[in-house]
Structures are given as structure tokens and as C-alpha cells.
């Protein structure tokens, strides 16, 4: 099933009409849950990250909410290894819209997981000093 769906998903995800892309974004968490984290990371993660730098604001906004749902579905470890490094890298992008999208991701609580990750790291640093 996944092999027959993938070409259609990719084609619709890159459609020139932004409303078509928006519809695919809204279904992505459901698809990700059905296809599994390994398949998602291998085949669909790149699409989801590309939506964060789309030229249409509605797509970038929907992509941030999509990432939040994906993090809820796949967990904080997945977010720490897969999503957070890519979103942090966007904060250094020369395009201000991409930097703003990084802030939008923070605003929709993707970085709640980053906070917990950093808290564990800071605690471990202080424990090592004593």
C-alpha cells in the first residue's frame, strides 16, 4: 500500500496550488501513524521540512502545526533526533521568513521537547561537576 501511495503523496505535496499542498499537510499525521516512523523518516520527512520554507504563509503555518502533531505521535526522542536540529538550523537562514518559521515552531510547542532535553543535559553537567 505504501509504495502505491507514495508517488501520489509526493506529487500532491509539490502541487503548484497551495490549497492542494495544504490538504496533504493536514493528512500527514494520519498517514505517518499508518506508515510508521521508519517509512516516514525515509520517504516523507523531507516533504514536511520543505513545507516549513514554502513561499505561502498558510503552508508554513500548517507545517508548524503538522510538526507538533508528528512530535506528539512519534515522541520526544524522535523530535530531538529528527526535527529539532533541522528547525534550529532554520534560525540561521538568511531569509527572514524562514527564521520567523523557526519562531512559529517554538510558539506551537515543538520545543517543549527541546526544553526537557536541555534540562536533562544541564542537570547532568552540574552533577558531573560535583
Least confident among 40-49, 89-98, 108-117: 108-117
What is the tally of structural domains in the chain? 1
Which CATH number fits the domain that encloses residue 18?
Answer: 1.25.10.10
Domain range for residue 115? 2-129
- pLDDT of residue 1 exceeding 90: no
Better pLDDT: 49 or 124: 49
What is the percent of the chain where pLDDT is above 70?
A: 82
d(CA 19, CA 58): 9
- pLDDT of residue 28 exceeding 80: yes
The answer to whether the beta carbons of residues 67 and 105 sit under 8 Å apart is yes
The answer to whether the beta carbons of residues 52 and 103 sit under 8 Å apart is no
pTM beyond 0.85, yes or no = no
Amino acid at each position: 500500500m505504501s509504495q502505491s501511495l507514495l508517488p501520489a503523496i509526493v506529487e500532491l505535496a509539490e502541487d503548484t496550488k497551495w490549497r492542494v499542498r495544504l490538504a496533504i499537510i493536514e493528512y500527514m499525521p494520519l498517514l505517518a501513524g499508518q506508515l510508521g516512523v521508519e517509512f516516514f523518516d525515509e520517504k516523507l520527512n523531507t516533504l514536511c521540512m520543505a513545507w516549513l520554507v514554502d513561499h505561502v504563509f498558510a503552508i508554513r503555518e500548517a507545517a508548524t502545526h503538522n510538526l507538533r502533531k508528528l512530535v506528539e505521535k512519534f515522541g520526544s526522542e524522535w523530535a530531538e533526533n529528527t526535527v529539532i536540529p533541522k528547525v534550529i538550523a532554520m534560525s540561521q537562514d538568511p531569509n527572514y521568513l524562514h527564521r520567523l518559521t523557526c519562531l512559529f515552531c517554538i510558539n506551537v510547542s515543538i520545543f517543549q521537547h527541546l526544553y526537557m532535553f536541555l534540562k536533562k543535559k544541564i542537570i547532568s553537567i552540574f552533577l558531573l561537576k560535583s
